[in-house]
Amino acid sequence: MSVLSLENVSKRYRRGHRELVALRSVSLEVENGEVVCVSGGRASGRTTLLRIVAGSERPDEGHVRFAGTDLARASGELRRQIAVCNLRFLPAHGRDACDHVAMPLRATRVSDDEAGLLAHRALERVGAGDVALTPPHEWIPSEAVRVSLARAIVREPRLLIFDEPTNGVDPTERDDLLLLIQRLAHESGIATLLTAGDTASVTGADRVMRLSDGELLGRPPRAAAEVVELRRPSASESTP
Amino acid sequence: MVGNAELKPSARLAVLGLLLERPGWGYELVTRFDRTFGEPYDWRITSAAIYQALRYLERTGLIVPHVDEGEGAPEEPGQRGMRQPYRVSGLGARMMREWLAAPMSSSPSQEEVLIRLQFRGADDETLRAMLKRHAEACLAELERIAGVPARTRMERLVKEERRLVVQARLSWVDFARAELRGPDDARIRPIER
């Protein structure tokens, strides 16, 4: 089943006495563990698309469903299963990487010690164990991306969103980061939606789509494999 | 594929397209080809290549001698002069239509792009559909590239070159789609009161 599903989503912005059409009847499905990369040029609507998926904007038309529930009506509990990666690390959230990664756990019932342990584990998992005790201003861009990923996965989300993850990252480190995102998605079954600028790498994406002139081009997910119920051995078969 | 003829985006296909626009003969086609493709896009071919294309197209039945009512009966076969006019046969028209309907690959040659844009012979809607299918072919190619492992430096260089070329094509599709927008599709429009 698709974790995320957009159906004929349209979005317009008012600019004085004119309106700007950002998205035109966009439909999109992202499955469990699938990495979908939406590429597009400037003003193609890709950031609007992510904001709508994150629930920070409402579409003018169409529906967004997350885990089968209309996103507009989803509970706070359900919404917390959507992790939005960003590279903002506010001083108020802590000093070092470990503090920032543990931050999302503070609102939960996890103890501080436990949160610290989980944060360390998440940082190790994304290959950022060595910056655990360093502050954000000491990180190079690829390390900031890794910490941001650790902060996203620490709460075990079902959907991960990242707007241009490799923006500003050194070209030689870029594909390693994208393959890391793919590995996290595949291993933990996290539906992952990324965006990529015109010339950004799409390595690791299971599916590449294109926002062109406000419309989304590309293929739907591969048809889900038919579910075949396993036949239980009958009593007579299981006795020797 | 219809018949035995083979149509690749080349002089043959361009000549077939030009004859589909209107009947013509050797020298006339040489000048028309130059006016359509040579001058504006620097696709230059020799006049011998045009005559060769005409012979091939006639042999495979894609074009036939054109009988102009006003000028009487056509010349006897074998005695045809350089001014023998040709028109496209039903078979030729069908092949051209099928070729134009097939999706443009993710790496079309410059000639293929020129022929498709020149002879789409339909409205903007058809061209938009063609661009959409071309974009889909490019996206499929990007997905393939995304999955290619690049362990050595050489593999990384080749992968990067290929990826950027395909993405440039997608940027071109964006531009072409914006150019072809209908009046109702404008992305910035006045708010109706």
Q: Which of residues 3-42 of B touch A (CB under 8 A)?
A: none
Dist CA A120 CA A132 (whole Å):
7
**From the CA of A212, how many Å to the nearest CA of chain B?**
5
Q: CB contact, 8 Å: B189 with chain A?
A: yes
| Between B121 and B58, the higher pLDDT residue | B58
Q: Give the CATH number of domain B11-101.
A: 1.10.10.10
**Which burial class, exposed, middle or buried, applies to B54 when counting CB atoms under 10 A from its CB (0-12, 13-18, 19+)?**
buried
3-state secondary structure of B118: helix
A175 and A215 housed in the same domain: yes
* Domain-located, residue A200: yes
Look at B10 and A165; give whichever has higher pLDDT: A165
pLDDT at residue A225 greater than cutoff 80: no
Do residue A67 and residue A165 come from a single domain? Answer: yes
Tell if the CB–CB gap between A205 and B191 is shorter than 8 Å: no
Are residues A77 and A174 both part of a single domain? yes
Report, as an integer, the average pLDDT of A17-41: 94
| Residue A199 C-alpha, separation from nearest chain B C-alpha, in angstroms | 6
Q: What pLDDT score does B2 carry?
A: 44
- Residue B122: predicted pLDDT: 63
- Which of A18, A175, A209 comes nearest B188 by C-beta? A18
For an interface test with A, the pick among B167, B169, B193 (most A C-beta atoms closer than 10 Å) comes out as: B167
On the question of pLDDT at A35 being above 80, the answer is: yes
Judged by a CB distance cut-off of 8 A, whether residue B163 touches chain A is: yes
CATH number at residue A55: 3.40.50.300
Return the C-alpha torsion angle B105, A8, A58, A55, nearest 10. Answer: -60
- The verdict on residue A135 lying in a domain is yes
Assembly ipTM: 0.85
Residue A238 is assigned to a structural domain of this protein: no
Instruction: Chain B: give the shortest CA distance to residue A24, in Å.
Output: 9
pLDDT > 50? residue A101: yes
Q: Does B174 touch chain A (CB under 8 A)?
A: yes
Tell me the residue range of the domain where A98 lies.
89-156
Same domain, A185 and A152: no
Q: What percent of chain B has pLDDT over 90?
A: 48
Task: Assess whether A19 and A66 both reside in one domain.
Answer: yes
Long-range CB pairs of B5-12, under 8 A, 24+ apart, other chains included: B5/B56, B5/B57, B5/B60, B5/B61, B5/B62, B5/B95, B7/B95, B7/B96, B7/B99, B9/B108, B9/B109, B9/B111, B9/B112, B9/B115, B10/B53, B10/B111, B11/B45, B11/B49, B11/B50, B11/B52, B11/B53, B12/B53, B12/B56, B12/B57
Say how many C-beta atoms besides its own lie within 10 A of residue B191's C-beta: 11
Chain A CB within 8 Å of residue B173 CB: yes
The token duo for A95 is 């000093």
Judgement on whether residues A139 and A65 belong to the same structural domain of the protein: no
Query: Residue A228: its pLDDT value, please?
Result: 56
Q: Provide mean pLDDT across the span A122-144.
A: 97
Give chain A's contact residues with B (Cβ, < 8 Å): 14-15, 17-21, 37, 39-41, 44, 175, 198-199, 201-210, 212-215, 217-219
Q: CA dist A97 to A79, A91, A100, A120, Å?
A: 24, 11, 5, 9
CB contact under 8 A, B143 and A44: no
Identify the top-confidence range among A12-16, A48-52, B10-14: A48-52
In this prediction, what percent of chain A has a pLDDT beyond 70? Answer: 92
**pLDDT at residue number A240:** 39
Any A CB within 8 A of B153 CB: no
Assess if residue A225 is contained within a domain: no
CA distance B11 to B7: 10
Domain shared by A94 and A142, yes or no: yes
Task: Return the pLDDT at A229.
Answer: 55
- A3-12, A55-64, A179-188, B62-71: the lowest-pLDDT one: B62-71
Structural domain count, chain A: 2
Q: Quick check: A237 pLDDT over 60?
A: no
Q: Could you give the percent of chain A with pLDDT greater than 90?
A: 79
Domain check: are A23 and A74 in the same one?
yes
Note whether A93 and A151 are same-domain residues.
Answer: yes
Beta-carbon separation of A209 and B187 below 8 A: no
Q: What residues in A contact B162, CB-CB < 8 Å?
A: none
Asked if the C-beta of B144 comes within 8 angstroms of chain A's C-beta atoms, the answer is no
CA dist., res. A4 & res. A32, Å (int): 9
Helix or strand or coil: residue A80? coil
Residue of chain A whose Cα is closest to the Cα of B137? A218
Whether the model clears a pTM of 0.90, i.e. scores above it, the answer is no
Assigned token pair, B174: 């964006």
In a domain? residue A235: no
B167, B186, B191 ranked by CB distance to A198: nearest: B167
Please tell me the predicted confidence (pLDDT) of residue A224. Answer: 52
The residue of chain B with its CA nearest to that of A218 is B136
User: Average model confidence (pLDDT) for chain B?
Assistant: 85
CB atoms A20 and B188 under 8 Å: yes
Measured CA to CA, the distance from residue B33 to residue B28 in angstroms comes to 9
- Among the three residues A156, A177, A193, which one is the final residue of a domain in this structure? A156
φ and ψ of A195, to 5 deg: -120, 160
User: Regarding predicted confidence, which is higher, B121 or A126?
Assistant: A126
| Chain A interface includes B167 (CB < 8 A) | yes
Whether the predicted pLDDT of B3 surpasses 80? no
Reported as a single tens digit per residue, the pLDDT across B24-69 is 999 999 999 999 998 888 898 899 999 999 999 999 999 999 886 5
Virtual torsion, Cα B160, B164, B170, B176, nearest 10 deg: -170
Is residue A169 packed enough to be buried (19+ CB in 10 Å), middle (13-18) or exposed (0-12)? buried
Residue A62 and residue A97 in one domain: no
Please judge whether B170 and A15 are an interchain contact, meaning their C-beta atoms are less than 8 angstroms apart. no
